A and B are shown apart, each in its own frame.
Chain A
Amino acid sequence: MTTPASATGTAAPPRSRSRGALVLVRFARNRLALVGIALVVALVLLAYAVPPFLHWTYHDNDFASLDTGPGAAHWFGTTHSGQDLFALTLRGLQKSLVVGLVGGPLTTLIAAVVGASAGYFGGWTDRVLMWFLDLMLVIPAFLLLAVLSPAFQHGTWLFFVILLAAFGWMITGRVVRSMTQTLREREYVLAARYMGVHPLVVIFRHILPNAASILIIDATVQVGAIVLGETSLSYFGFGIQAPDVSLGTLIAAGTPDANTSPWLFFFPAAFLVLIGLSVAFIGDGLRDAFDPTARGAKSRRRARPAVPRSRHARTARTARNPRRKPTAAVVPAAATQEGVTP
């Protein structure tokens, strides 16, 4: 068939870099984000590759040097009972890293599944899930986790991670839900629906991949939140139990002596800050990389014949930038800053 348009077709469309490559390029341009990646890699190597080569393990006691400051024999000093603080800190670092790297993505996964289902199906599914979400918000998570801790003292830390994730997904869940509600009305989703594609397939093929940027950013943020959550619980004695150590228990043990033996407190604390910092750098770099408007000055694309189209333009904009959605939906777990999972 001879279409008058064949010429339009042969006029090769402008070759541009694929979206994924573009995100990578933008990410790599962000120096802080690269610092963050380097930090995380360094921390993981330090936590797992270094301990086998150390003279002291975390459960050895050097009775010749009790409560000594940093020095050649004990780089970070020793505790009152002569444990090598460097070995202890690396052990704690292992725990915190694994808790964060497992728990963060897990939290986001729960949020994505619940939020997308509620947003896509709407109606009763939405009502039931949102009621459940509200309930989870209202249940005092810290209290519950703390109360439960004696019951599971001999369980694994993995169980703890799951519990932390179970109480950390709600805010993101709301964000995913409201994103899904706008994505659901997007034309490519409508198109799939009117093709007869199964709803679950629509969610996994069209909705979640298009919310991926938010989910990836959220997963990094959650890594930090989970690490802090574990630290808080452990600090108060409700998390990781002796003889195992985590950064939280080390910091707790060091707090009373922070004035007299500052190394006991500040070395583990510094590593905790490093984890949080690197994760935040990565998260922010990703946000800038995914959001093309983040660099501010880009001239705005104007939707031209906007008669019935402003509807789409607006939904598109909201979906692209969910940070802008006000309401309590995005109220993040700020209280984690003050130590407890809210």
Chain B
Amino acid sequence: MTHPTAVLGVPTSRPAAGSPVLTVSDLRVSFPGEAGRVHAVRGVDFTLHAGETLAVVGESGSGKSVTATAVLGLLPDDAEVSGSVRLGDRELLGLSDRRMSAIRGRDIGMVFQDPLSALTPVFSVGTQLVEALRIHQDLTAAQARERALELLDLVGIPDPRRRVDAFPHEFSGGMRQRAMIAMAIANDPEVIIADEPTTALDVTIQAQVLEVLRKAQEVTGAAILMITHDLGVVAGMADRVVVMYAGKPVETGTADELFATPRMPYTIGLLGSVPRLDAGDRTALTPIEGTPPSMVDLPAGCPFAARCPVAVDRCRTEEPALRAVTTGAAHATACHRAQEIDAPGGIPSPGMFPTPASPRRPGGLPRAERPEVLRVTNLTKHFPLLRGSVFKHRVGTVRAVDGVDFDIREGETLALVGESGCGKTTTMLQILDLAGRRAGSVAVLGKDVGRLDGRGRRELRRDLQVVFQDPMASLDSRMPVGDILAEPLRTHGWDRARIAGRVPELLRLVGLLPEHAERYPAEFSGGQRQRIGIARALALDPKLIVLDEPVSALDVSIQAGVINLLDELQAELGLSYLFIAHDLSVIRHIADRVAVMYLGRIVEAGDVEDVFARPAHPYTQALLSAVPLPDPRKERQRRRIILQGDLPSPADTPSGCRFRTRCPKYRDLAPAESGRCDTEDPAAGVLGEDHSAACHFAAALEVL
């Protein structure tokens, strides 16, 4: 590794650590919208000090990204901006594009959310990096290219000399984000703004990229303004936190204070609604009821009042200002009742939001005696790998699913978990197709679907239903909700009268009102739409529901309610779930059993408690250790296993054990032992009553 200062060239005079580099005061932004003016940001104040990391946290629509874009002066022309943004002692608001351009990229570097769309698709990564350098520095093409190589090396792109001329689409998501970071630090900025920098990435890649971001900060000494919705990331990265709600900061403070003693009911609710990997038993989550207010015409008073369990009359008439919790303290909150929270005789924060009772599960039979609802045996699905969209030609075979076995018993939830590209979605689609060319067998309710005729498959579809990930995409926006719920019933021959009776029943079952049947999906919030999707799946009283990432598109405060609903429905109706997910924390809350997939195979499977407490496969261990915990203290103490590199292409699986190319254990093995991993594909070894792992050297390791 090259020395940092050599990489970044000219040492610039840096502000002393701790002095303010970016001061935002009373920032307000509004846009013209279809229904009226949208007041996206309504008075934001914060100060970013040299060398620190400040996180701006909020759910969608809270105005956090608009704030970041406003600081850079990149809002669309029709946005109205007022207030002040000062870099050092220079006012940035109102600067001309020419002056602002001299600051962007030099004093402020920016990392965007989706690195694929954020890089120009037709220029190589090197070209774009060289451009970033030459805008602000007087370098020859050759010098700039050398710098670019050094920067790519710094952010951990392997073999930069070969990769520098690659195009963005030839990079993986993680590598693209590394390239973005290289661009952001190319001119040694004082401030790096990172807008949801890891949201589009898998957890293991997220861990790598956060590492790179920390390193970039170390090298440049820059202050980081981090925009995110992920409280785990905040806990791991931030020194200080600003929580935003409805376009305004509602609580600020150091990360420790904020996570340990939150004083604003919204923050308390948010922290309570996050599913935690380190939580104990399966307990119900605490949702925040309701939805954020419309930013077009906000009601008077505290914008959170409608969802707040401790709101009083004053909250509905007067909007609270952000005030220090105790005089002079950095911890401030915008709540009329902040002083009463956790004060002696006041409002205790635990239990402030009502947590529903955990549904009582029928005691039931032991697993082995319950009937099998789904059995998948040696399921294999390969696709041709095609190249080129103009001259399409086959260049290989993608082994998307390569020999998968599992079963689901009545009344239980199996979570199929893995990173994108591991084959979990293909597995799901193969099961749902009930037909299709593939190897292996799928048996639903004891019937091998390969042997069914068209009629038999139709019959079986009553018992097998699906809920998709995106509540926006899974409901036809042109049909009223009543028709959407009636579709499965009509398809399976229900008459009008029975349908008319069933639809209101279904709506009530998922916590909606019968009169909602007349409305269109667009009139509902994300969480409500997902409830409609669940109601549709329940219409025919199925036995097994496949849930494809059902909560990953939802904000945490909404997500909790949907998870609780799924839990209750299962207890009440005796359903079995196949739960496809990438979020291990959610799985811990909903699943009985878990199967971890890697490159088309299940590498570890078993009882959730067992697998999470004593993961035995090195991949499971890495996956669990990569999940950030919403607890700064724990995050700081954790030893993290960071996987090297990206997921290999499923078209080119390594010989022997497929995980060995990234396996931390493999690297520590003696050559005599590791030879076995090179040549021999490990079979699933039984580790406990319900726990198996496919590793030659499986050994439990506590990682949480």
Contact = CB atoms under 8 A, between A and B. Distances in A.
A196 B66 contact: no
B254 to A, nearest CB: 26
Given A9-B513, A305-B552, A309-B553, A3 B524 contact: no
Contacts of B568: 1, 3-4
A52 B351 CA distance: 83
A152 B343 CA distance: 94
B589 interface: no
Question: Number of contact residues on B: which range applies?
Answer: 35 or more
B28 interface: no
A287 interface: no
Interface in A169-212: 186-188, 190-192, 194-197, 205-206, 209-210
Contacts of A19: 477-478, 520, 522
Contact of B60 (A192, A304, A306): A304
Contact of B31 (A6, A13, A188, A299): A299
Interface in A1-40: 1, 3-11, 13-16, 18-19, 22
Interface in A291-319: 292, 297-299, 302-310, 312, 316
Select the residue from A11, A197, A305, A327 with max chain B CB neighbours within 10 A.
Answer: A305
A92 B616 CA distance: 83
Contacts, number: 174
Contacts of A205: 476
B199 interface: yes
Interface of B: 31-35, 40, 60, 65-66, 76-78, 113-114, 116, 196, 199-202, 229, 284, 287, 289-291, 294, 306, 354, 356, 389-390, 420, 425, 432, 457-458, 461, 464-466, 468-470, 472-478, 487-488, 491-492, 507-513, 516, 519-520, 522-525, 527-528, 531, 533, 536, 549, 552-553, 555, 561-562, 564-565, 568, 572, 582
B356 A16 contact: no
A13 B519 contact: yes
Nearest to B464: A194
A11 B78 CA distance: 33
A132 to B, nearest CB: 20
A46 to B, nearest CB: 37
6 contacts: A5-B561, A8-B531, A196-B491, A299-B40, A307-B582, A309-B552
Nearest to B389: A327
Contact of A209 (B464, B468, B478): B478
Contacts of B512: 9
Contacts of A196: 457-458, 461, 491-492
B552 A3 contact: no
Among A191, A206, A303, the one with the most B-chain Cβ atoms within 10 Å of its Cβ is A191
Contact of B76 (A5, A210, A299, A302): A299
Contact of B290 (A8, A297, A299): A8
B473 A187 contact: yes
Of the candidates A195, A205, A298, the one having the most CB atoms from chain B within 10 angstroms of its own CB is: A195
Contacts of B306: 11
A306 B114 contact: yes
Contacts of A192: 487
Contacts of B572: 1
A308 B473 contact: no
B525 A13 contact: yes
Given A19-B477, A210-B476, A299 B66 contact: yes
B476 A206 contact: yes
A5 B564 contact: yes
B508 to A, nearest CB: 8
B487 A197 contact: yes
Nearest to B290: A11
B309 to A, nearest CB: 11
